[in-house]
């Protein structure tokens, strides 16, 4: 089962490439709560983990900032190594 807003099967090729090889094997994801606008996920693979951020599924607050990197079927998602901003 995928967390809301992240299709891991569709995103996997992009995430493996964007992570610089930090992700391999089957991927799992969980939603990290606490964000105001962007959805944030912790994505785990056999060799590591990354944090993925994407725009909200519905209405965007006027104060929300946009993510700059395109990927995984979402026009504005970002991938960063776990623990880094």
Residues 47-71 pLDDT 10s: 888 999 888 877 666 665 554 444 4
In a domain, 47, yes or no: yes
Range of the domain at 77: 8-81
Give the pLDDT mean for 11-19: 89
Q: Looking at the 3D structure of the chain, how many domains does it have? A: 1
In a domain, 30, yes or no: yes
In a domain, 2, yes or no: no
* Residue 85, pLDDT above cutoff 50: no
Its pTM stands at 0.66
67 vs 44, which has greater pLDDT?
Answer: 44
Per-residue pLDDT at 33: 83
Residues 76, 54: Cα–Cα separation, whole Å: 6
In a domain, 22, yes or no: yes
**Dihedral, CA of residue 83, residue 38, residue 31 and residue 24, to nearest 10:** -60
């Amino acid at each position: 089962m995928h967390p809301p807003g992240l299709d891991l099967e569709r995103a996997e090729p992009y995430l493996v490439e964007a992570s610089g090889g930090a992700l391999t094997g089957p991927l799992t994801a969980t939603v990290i709560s606490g964000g105001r606008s962007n959805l944030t996920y912790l994505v785990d693979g056999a060799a590591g983990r990354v944090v993925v951020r994407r725009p909200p599924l519905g209405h965007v607050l006027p104060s929300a900032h946009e993510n700059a990197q395109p990927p995984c079927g979402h026009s504005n998602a970002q991938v960063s190594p776990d623990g880094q901003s």
